Copies of this chain bind each other. A is one copy, B any other.
């Protein structure tokens, strides 16, 4: 296939490109390096099946111009503002980089008759849900972050564009994803803080935030698996593993993998790490399990492997 990976210089996008190239597809990548980096795709330079455009997906004319030039079979839309804390201070980031980029891609697909789509959604669309394992039919959806809000809006757009234009769309709602090329989040922050000061670690919240962490290769495997034979309309799955890690456990794993002992943990306190953070959640994964997919790694294994990835990258 000739595929577009929008936001392909980002953490998840660049890992997906590696898998798509391995499977023999021609990959066109668009990124504006707002969060993505040149380093993430530098190993692809000169690859005969890889083409890169530096463009801002929030510019409809720029997106349209590439769709005119290329004939895409499939769009993998990985572009978004993934830094929830940044948009908490400036929601316009989310409007532009998460919602508008999605609208522009869908509109270009409509105009240029591209029918297959993968979209990265998130557990953040559910909001702060406690006491139940969240299934895909949980309602009402009351996101508490601008990120979750815009991703929910994107899902709505995908539903309407799919119905109106016969798209075959896959939406995966996944939790925190970690692994090589990670750029932010608790695991990343802890490692960088401990590099600066290996004796003391500041931890946002009370450390009891408890969420599933998904290893990026598990997620890529999931996307590669479900992209095949997509039916018309929207196919929606919660995606992740069945286990969770607390922030305290993550701190312990990071210290262990870095060979650090007797690190003093300093908690900033409060239920969530920051306003808009969902501190505790767990998924009902019956639907994706029934479809035959399971995560290979537990949440703690994903954390430990990610620390190894980041450390080996630094060496």
Q: Are A276 and B164 neighbours in the complex by a CB distance under 8 Å?
A: yes
Interface of A is mostly: helix
Of B144, B152, B275, the residue contacting A152 (CB under 8 A) is B152
Query: Residues of B contacting A127 with CB < 8 Å?
Result: 159, 163
A174: Cβ under 8 A from any B Cβ: no
Which of A132-140, A192-200, A257-265, A299-307 interfaces with chain B?
A: A132-140
Q: How large is the interface on A (under 10, 10 to 19, 20 to 34, 35 or more residues)?
A: 35 or more
A97: Cβ under 8 A from any B Cβ: no
Of B107, B136, B152, B234, the residue contacting A92 (CB under 8 A) is B107
Q: Are A139 and B142 neighbours in the complex by a CB distance under 8 Å?
A: no
A8: Cβ under 8 A from any B Cβ: no
A103: Cβ under 8 A from any B Cβ: yes
Q: Are B236 and A125 neighbours in the complex by a CB distance under 8 Å?
A: no
Query: Residues of B contacting A142 with CB < 8 Å?
Result: 159, 163, 234
Of residues 150 through 186 on chain A, the ones whose CB sits less than 8 Å from some CB of chain B are 150-157, 159-161, 163-164
Q: How far is the CA of A154 from the CA of B159 in the complex (A)?
A: 15
Q: 16 new A-B pairs (CB below 8 Å) besides A99-B99, A143-B156, A146-B161?
A: A91-B161, A95-B103, A95-B107, A125-B156, A127-B163, A139-B139, A141-B156, A142-B234, A143-B160, A145-B160, A145-B164, A146-B157, A149-B161, A150-B153, A150-B157, A164-B275
